[in-house]
Structure 1
């Protein structure tokens, strides 16, 4: 018998899973992480990453039955988090986290414009890795090395310098086509070549767990250490979105879409960018600023589970179209207002007349499926009560999700494959059915799709056996096309949505 260890090194915690080849979790543990925030500053102590990772891994391994062999370990980490180390791997700086915005991206964008254009994302943001590296560079001592969050702990696991994976290195400027650092860009920026680690694809073998790491983590000495990926890509792997045309839609506080394409997608707006998959295909995606985070803001103090049940009763009289599979716990529980899926899931039938719909921006400004720094939430129609207000938010989030797919289709991305829903919103049967109805597509729910599972798969597990389907939800046939077109037209009228994208969305909504 064999197990694989997946480690999700996040912002608030580190989580370790021990997973068998059949997808059974035999050990799991997490430990909290502490952030230091002050305005645009967001730092963490890299040594805490290692301490808590070692503790979580030791605890997770206690559940592994005697005689089962640990076949591999892989670690994912937050995208764009970097620090400087000395040649021995000791941290010289705090870690600048994924959303630290003290850097400026102008120099990086000027020097690398041609490369960023060729890679499809066109420009870097201030919180990306390369602007942060340039911000740290003036005070860097001789011999300093760049390390991403996962690089720091992988070095501790192996006991020597390791390569970085191209997924975590994307925001630091790696050339994903050439699979190398673009020397001409880094030379122009004054970044010494010796500061940069070697680059490999996710899934490459970095080395083996050394004796010192084995003692601290409980991982057997000699266990293969596999190059991981970013947390978003890890969640996609855990969801099983691996075939060209398949997509993982993660709806929690905000909405994130990630898919698989054979060819690199170029986006003139720069709101979609692509990672490189272990097999050389591409993983395009984008992150919206809309999502379930609006529920607690706009409905403070309300019982959101009760509102979900009332909305399902009021707006869902159609027979359910949910196909049950073997039971399993929902992925990423914890989104407010998310009642557990169960029998009697109803289709999204709406009352006569245009439904009330809210554009549910969690914060000012939109990132995907369009770029609009000044975008703000709005509501079309007047909600009669909190139940209708709740339903309007859920409908708006589903409309944004569909618009994301319409925009990806406009860019030439294949969107005809399996759509896998993960994130806390999948706990709501009503919301899941509503999303299937708006997309007019079946949607798949997994038993477990957390990033740590994705890392167990990347470490060497068989995805066909380890990733299990919980349910497939069919659209009910509810008619929501007119309401969607009205929503799209309003985004265009406000000057946020490009006319070409709006026209394409309307065309796809026309029977």
Structure 2
């Protein structure tokens, strides 16, 4: 199908608006020579709030974080409201308005939670269907529409494919289509929506909107990150199975590498916050991948792993081999290569894959069980990281797991509950750590190269707990035996996903 080819190939979108293609096609207008003092903005829309980092290129060639701002989701700023994502970005940028660094910003990158998506009107970016978040499970409901979605996935999606996940973008899109026919609507992931809003705010009546997505966010939609196209089975599913006459009109029309320029900022936005009209928007990433960039940098060795200990647990490991197994919640992200002579990625012999998965287990359970920050700190000092807890917990906050096994019926296990808060905390932290261990074991079983991580960098709120880091390293070594003697678990120097997004914004320019 000729139109399918045009839609599917990364960097070959069908739009023609000046705000997008003059940059995304690598035009000479893009100045890629970095100088000391150049600045880059990274945004992260996470599970608990939104954060902004501004980094500056130093004379020594490093990037220092010179501005950081954060806010939490609350009743006035709803985490699953697409319009409130824009409000969050506005609030963060407004705090930096007037700062001298804003004059030196060259690019912006946005990270969002994996598989969080919404539908918008094609010509206005107005939200037409409320966002379905990373943990929205299609099987969480019971209706003819849900049954139809599951039948379509079973019939069309290849066995063990990432897109089979009932929390994935494809399942959410199919459910929307089953509930009500798509009408002049286009799919956007959280990162896409925010980036496009920054590109098109105030210009909606002047240009045609070209929707973009990046290799990382689009993975769970079914996009083939090896062949860099929408696969034939996916187009057949949408057209014949879901009765979407022109699926290419619903899908992002341009797919790029994370960090690849996609367009320039709207002059309306630039004027509002004191930014240059030349500020570039680059392809985004997911929050856990952004955390990997923050912790490991742009050129880590194979076997480097990052565990994000936030509201949920996510692990990533850099592998020289591609692996995938949706039944265990395992997927591979193409790891971007920077520095080629023409901006293209390295050839296939040098491919790198960021493999991993994201669990529904995580530190959110600590808040659900009313542990305060002070209590967590004091009780952790009383726990011996070299001793096992007799409690065997699986600390979910609700039914359903994504990784290391995809099981929408998986139930939380938080009993028996001891009288001692210290012992209860010990059991919960050990339980989360054991899910991490199982996750690395699964990655090795499905073909990670190397099989075990060499270093595990910890980020997220849980990484501040020294006792927990020691506990996790001990249990990793015990579970894997002699093969894991060299495994080191430590806190990452830089941990925030917004910082990783800022580094990604700089990567194309710094290559």
Normalised by the length of structure 2, the TM-score is 0.72
The residue aligned with 2:443 is 408
* Secondary structure of the structure 1 residue equivalent to 2:302: coil
Please, which of 199, 218, 240 is the counterpart of residue 158 of structure 1? 199
The residue aligned with 1:121 is 162
- Listed as ranges, the matches of 1:31-42 within 5 Å are 31-33=71-73
> What is the rounded CA distance, in whole Å, between the counterparts of 2:48 and 2:364 in structure 1?
17
The residue aligned with 2:185 is 144
> What is the rounded CA distance, in whole Å, between the counterparts of 1:300 and 1:403 in structure 2?
25
Please, which of 317, 320, 323 is the counterpart of residue 259 of structure 1? 317
Do 2:389 and 2:426's aligned partners in 1 also have CA atoms closer than 8 Å? no
> What is the rounded CA distance, in whole Å, between the counterparts of 1:462 and 1:133 in structure 2?
32
The residue aligned with 1:419 is 456
Name the CA shift for 1:304/1:30 in 2 (closer, same or farther; >3 Å).
Answer: closer
| Deviation per residue, 1:270-318 (Å, 9 max, x gap) | 321222322353222222343444445557689332211222xxx3xxx
The residue aligned with 1:184 is 236
> What is the rounded CA distance, in whole Å, between the counterparts of 1:296 and 1:44 in structure 2?
19
The residue aligned with 1:358 is 392
The residue aligned with 1:230 is 286
The residue aligned with 2:468 is 431
> What is the rounded CA distance, in whole Å, between the counterparts of 2:131 and 2:181 in structure 1?
14
Quote the offset at 1:420 in angstroms.
0.6
Please, which of 287, 299, 306 is the counterpart of residue 378 of structure 2? 306
Please, which of 50, 57, 60 is the counterpart of residue 93 of structure 2? 57
Name the CA shift for 1:369/1:464 in 2 (closer, same or farther; >3 Å).
Answer: farther
* Secondary structure of the structure 2 residue equivalent to 1:203: coil
| Deviation per residue, 1:430-479 (Å, 9 max, x gap) | 111111222232123223211111111111249999xxxxxxxxxxxxxx
RMSD: 3.4
| Deviation per residue, 1:339-362 (Å, 9 max, x gap) | xxxxxxxxx333xxx752332422
Please, which of 393, 403, 414 is the counterpart of residue 368 of structure 1? 403
- Listed as ranges, the matches of 1:338-349 within 5 Å are 348-349=385-386
Q: Confirm or deny that 1:14 pairs with 2:50.
A: yes
| Deviation per residue, 1:415-436 (Å, 9 max, x gap) | 2332111121222211111112
Please, which of 253, 258, 269 is the counterpart of residue 202 of structure 1? 258
> What is the rounded CA distance, in whole Å, between the counterparts of 1:290 and 1:46 in structure 2?
25
Report how many aligned residue pairs link the two structures.
420
The residue aligned with 2:21 is none
The residue aligned with 1:277 is 335
Normalised by the length of structure 1, the TM-score is 0.72
* Secondary structure of the structure 2 residue equivalent to 1:431: helix
Q: Confirm or deny that 1:47 pairs with 2:83.
A: yes
The residue aligned with 1:390 is 425
Do 1:121 and 1:270's aligned partners in 2 also have CA atoms closer than 8 Å? no
Name the CA shift for 1:29/1:268 in 2 (closer, same or farther; >3 Å).
Answer: closer
The residue aligned with 2:498 is 452
Higher relative contact order (CA 8 A, sep 6+): 2
Do 1:146 and 1:196's aligned partners in 2 also have CA atoms closer than 8 Å? yes
Which piece of structure 1 moves more, 285-294 or 299-308?
299-308
> What is the rounded CA distance, in whole Å, between the counterparts of 1:459 and 1:434 in structure 2?
35
- Listed as ranges, the matches of 1:70-109 within 5 Å are 70-98=105-133, 99-101=135-137, 107=148
Do 1:7 and 1:16's aligned partners in 2 also have CA atoms closer than 8 Å? yes
The residue aligned with 2:489 is 443
* Secondary structure of the structure 1 residue equivalent to 2:285: coil
Name the CA shift for 1:427/1:463 in 2 (closer, same or farther; >3 Å).
Answer: farther
The residue aligned with 2:67 is 27
Name the CA shift for 1:383/1:58 in 2 (closer, same or farther; >3 Å).
Answer: closer
Name the CA shift for 1:270/1:105 in 2 (closer, same or farther; >3 Å).
Answer: farther
* Secondary structure of the structure 2 residue equivalent to 1:432: helix
Do 1:43 and 1:100's aligned partners in 2 also have CA atoms closer than 8 Å? no
